[in-house]
Chain A
Amino acid sequence: MKREIAKFSIQKVEYLDPSGNLAEDAPAVYGAVEGHAQLVEWYKMMVLGRVFDAKASNLQKTGQIGTYPSMEGQEAVGTGVASAMEDDDVLLTTYREHDARIRRDEEQEEAMTNILLCWGGDERGHKRAGRNRKDFPLCITIATHCGHAVGVAMAMKIRKENRVAVCMLGDGATSKGDVHEAMNWASVWRLPLVFVIVNNQYAISQPRKLQSGAETLAQLGVGAGVQFCKQVDGNDVIAMYEVTVEALERARSGQGPTVIEALTYRLGSHTTADDASRYRSAEEVEEARKNEPLIRLRLFLERVGVWNETNEVALQAECKERVEGAVKAYRNIIENHPQTVDDMFVHMHAKLPATLKEQLEIARAFSLDTTKEEYHGS
């Protein structure tokens, strides 16, 4: 006898389409004044992210920071996810989630300065600004932070806390065993853990289709036993926020982990060291640009009468000023308060071992002058 013993389906959530139309089944609040005010705030956040991102890319071009990974086009994911989280939740991300990181800090200029420090080659950038000190520093090695998220959620569960770990990973990461292990473990333990797969269609040059034979990446959670797996229009901040809120509520009420696949598109190259024109056409990018998250939100806000060109001009100027402030603070730190050789050593262990003390003396004796131009030349 053959009989069906399991089946699944994946729901896709999209509330705001690329033309700025709100879906009929969107939460009613977005048709009302308070919802509009919320959307204006998110719009401002996303524009700040866009302006920061462009500035950071330019700083790399002029040699003022090192390699930088642009998040252009993905702003709605980070903004939606971070806005849904509580302060004492824990965010773990890859290296591209600048928006989420900026959003999570009340000291947003300091958060931007820290991001510049990271990519400017100064470890102090990994410190967290402001209130979200429990968040993890960005993770470069793909998917490994999924394991850390499991540990964080385990700690929350063991201590019976009402907190949630949120782990943002890429589409490429889903090919790694780490992700399966983490989803599986989260499912076994019903952990308060939300996985957000930021499917920006590319892992450096490799398109999404090379990463998985599955129709959606959300369904990877199904095999692991994750009960709540959704695909979301990641360029729609409303859908991102609403689904994340639901996932967080489920986690807090003991219903376990969630897998959210956020469909978006990496408009820029992988990093400033990459040239995306080697592996994808200009037409494809142009098409994707029509779907990006800022255009649709601005169209909607203008249509409901809470945004206009004057607001836009003022916002752009304000964002530029705030970003310039962050850049100025970054320059001040690296130029006037540079790290010394001591900083390589003193944080290796709680107490400096004898061998490292000896090596520190050597490093001090041969210390180079970091204020000189030639030190920074290649």
Chain B
Amino acid sequence: MVLNAETGGAVDLGEELTMVGALNRALARAMQDDDTVVLLGEDIGVNGGVFRVTDGLLNEFGDRRVIDTPLAEITIAGAAVGMAVEGLKSVVEIQFSGFMYSVIDHIVNHAARLRNRTRGEKTCPMVLRMPVGGGIHAPEHHSESVETYFAHTPGLRVVIPSSPRKAYGLLLAAIQDPDPVVFLEPTRLYRLGREKVEDDGVALPLDVAFVLREGSDITLVSWGASLVETLQAAEELAKDGVSAEVIDVATLKYMDEKTILESVKKTGRVVVVHEASYTGGFGGEIIKRVAKHCLLALLAPPDCVAGYDTVMPLSQLEKQYIPSVERIVAAARDALKYS
């Protein structure tokens, strides 16, 4: 399980939940606290969602708030925009990230622009949830990492949780945000482990990166499921006496640049790790800012361990694609050769 620095492992409140359970509790809490919150998506009602994130919510809140839509992704997104403008807080589930290319028209052309194009008169407070990433032996079109498509679009926030507690707190924050938020849920973490989550209705801050592990020799930056391997890599490096700091970016847009840059200035070395493909990946964005602000502090060239510029392979090869502990450790060791 991904470690959670801010809990320190010492919190003894709450229930042991998987990420799926934590997301479910966050949705229920948001719906209890705010009766304008409405969920819509495919199979989210009776079926409780294909990953069971919305399990039980239909019974709790009824079919006017937990809406099984027609199988029409374009209009799921379009309707979410229309509902949001009309004063509801629409929380959309897109079943798999491969189906999101149909919704991107509404997210980019409308959700992201409405506040701006109406000079603040109309807003679009919606959340677009979807599972992302590989590692669960899913069929084709079910395993892609799509964060960069959204992060590039002005007007959107992009959030990726890395643990049940983060999932709970960040989803509440996303729902409370007055503007559109794309909330990407790493499928690999859905049931990877459990963590104590206090269902207290307290949101975590957006636009804040979390230091999961403090260190002084190198900074490892990642988000979502890749933090599993990144933290394991830090553990491996520790065996060699290397002290790696691990940062969970959590909100890619708008990224907490300060936390990352301060860490890199301290360590002088940085490796960004992400599952999305290399070229144009968000690692480039982080390294761009490191290059601008940390040049004189750098002891080694920044590096990025990412998915390859290949099509996301089917399940037989997906482990070859997803950045491994070994690749991360190798990149870190390369950086450590400079001194």
The stretch from A12-20, A141-149, A205-213, A295-303 touching chain B is: A141-149
In the complex, what's the smallest C-beta–C-beta distance from A259 to chain B, in angstroms? Answer: 16
Q: How far apart sit A213 and B82, CA to CA, in the bound complex (Å)? A: 30
Q: Which of B81, B116, B118 contacts A151 (CB 8 A)?
A: B81
Given contacts A127-B118, A343-B119, A347-B119, contact A354 B81 (CB under 8 A): no
Given contacts A181-B72, A185-B79, contact A151 B119 (CB under 8 A): no
Q: How far apart sit A152 and B86, CA to CA, in the bound complex (Å)? A: 6
Whether A151 contacts B86 by the Cβ 8 Å rule is yes
Whether A182 contacts B78 by the Cβ 8 Å rule is yes
Indicate if A136 sits at the interface (CB-CB under 8 A): yes
Q: Which of B67, B120, B157 contacts A347 (CB 8 A)?
A: B120
Given contacts A148-B85, A184-B70, contact A178 B75 (CB under 8 A): yes
Whether A151 contacts B178 by the Cβ 8 Å rule is no
Given contacts A144-B110, A154-B83, contact A126 B78 (CB under 8 A): no
CB-nearest residue of chain A relative to B126?
A151
Whether A178 contacts B78 by the Cβ 8 Å rule is yes
CB-nearest residue of chain A relative to B87?
A155
Whether A158 contacts B78 by the Cβ 8 Å rule is no
Given contacts A151-B84, A185-B75, contact A350 B119 (CB under 8 A): no
Q: How far apart sit A126 and B115, CA to CA, in the bound complex (Å)? A: 10
Q: How far apart sit A146 and B74, CA to CA, in the bound complex (Å)? A: 10
Q: Which of A127, A134, A155 contacts B88 (CB 8 A)?
A: A155
Q: Interface SS of chain A: helix, strand, loop or mixed?
A: helix
Q: How far apart sit A127 and B155, CA to CA, in the bound complex (Å)? A: 18
Indicate if B52 sits at the interface (CB-CB under 8 A): no
Q: How far apart sit A354 and B77, CA to CA, in the bound complex (Å)? A: 28
In the complex, what's the smallest C-beta–C-beta distance from A351 to chain B, in angstroms? Answer: 8
Indicate if A39 sits at the interface (CB-CB under 8 A): no
A329-367 to B contact mask, C-beta < 8 Å, 1/0: 000000000000001001111100111100000000000
CB-nearest residue of chain B relative to A160?
B64
In the complex, what's the smallest C-beta–C-beta distance from A356 to chain B, in angstroms? Answer: 8
A151-163 to B contact mask, C-beta < 8 Å, 1/0: 1111110100000
Q: How far apart sit A182 and B79, CA to CA, in the bound complex (Å)? A: 9
CB-nearest residue of chain A relative to B118?
A126
Query: CB-CB < 8 A to A96: which residues of B?
Result: none
Query: CB-CB < 8 A to B106: which residues of A?
Result: 144, 147
Query: CB-CB < 8 A to B67: which residues of A?
Result: 154
Q: How far apart sit A71 and B70, CA to CA, in the bound complex (Å)? A: 35
CB-nearest residue of chain A relative to B88?
A155
Q: Which of A137, A148, A150, A354 contacts B257 (CB 8 A)?
A: A354
Whether B118 contacts A90 by the Cβ 8 Å rule is no
Q: Which of B80, B109, B116 contacts A348 (CB 8 A)?
A: B116
Q: Which of B78, B115, B155 has the most CB of A within 10 A?
A: B78
Indicate if A123 sits at the interface (CB-CB under 8 A): yes
Whether A147 contacts B85 by the Cβ 8 Å rule is no
Q: Which of A136, A151, A343 contacts B80 (CB 8 A)?
A: A151
Query: CB-CB < 8 A to B118: which residues of A?
Result: 123, 126-127, 137, 347
Query: CB-CB < 8 A to A347: which residues of B?
Result: 115-116, 118-120
Whether B121 contacts A148 by the Cβ 8 Å rule is no
Indicate if B123 sits at the interface (CB-CB under 8 A): yes
In the complex, what's the smallest C-beta–C-beta distance from A337 to chain B, in angstroms? Answer: 13
In the complex, what's the smallest C-beta–C-beta distance from A342 to chain B, in angstroms? Answer: 12
Query: CB-CB < 8 A to B120: which residues of A?
Result: 346-347
Q: How far apart sit A250 and B329, CA to CA, in the bound complex (Å)? A: 67
CB-nearest residue of chain B relative to A140?
B109
Query: CB-CB < 8 A to A354: which residues of B?
Result: 207, 254, 257-258
CB-nearest residue of chain B relative to A167?
B82
CB-nearest residue of chain A relative to B62?
A158
Query: CB-CB < 8 A to A144: which residues of B?
Result: 78, 105-106, 109-110
Residues of B58-101 contacting chain A, CB below 8 A: 64-65, 67, 69-70, 72, 74-75, 77-88, 90
Whether A148 contacts B74 by the Cβ 8 Å rule is no
Q: Which of B65, B115, B117 contacts A349 (CB 8 A)?
A: B115
Q: How far apart sit A144 and B75, CA to CA, in the bound complex (Å)? A: 8
In the complex, what's the smallest C-beta–C-beta distance from A251 to chain B, in angstroms? Answer: 15
Query: CB-CB < 8 A to A149: which residues of B?
Result: 82
Residues of B within 8 A of A (CB): 38, 64-65, 67, 69-70, 72, 74-75, 77-88, 90, 105-106, 109-110, 114-123, 154-155, 157, 177-179, 207, 254-255, 257-258
List 15 interface pairs A-B (beta carbons < 8 Å), by A numbering: A126-B118, A127-B121, A141-B109, A147-B74, A147-B82, A152-B83, A155-B88, A158-B38, A181-B75, A182-B75, A184-B72, A185-B72, A347-B116, A350-B123, A355-B257
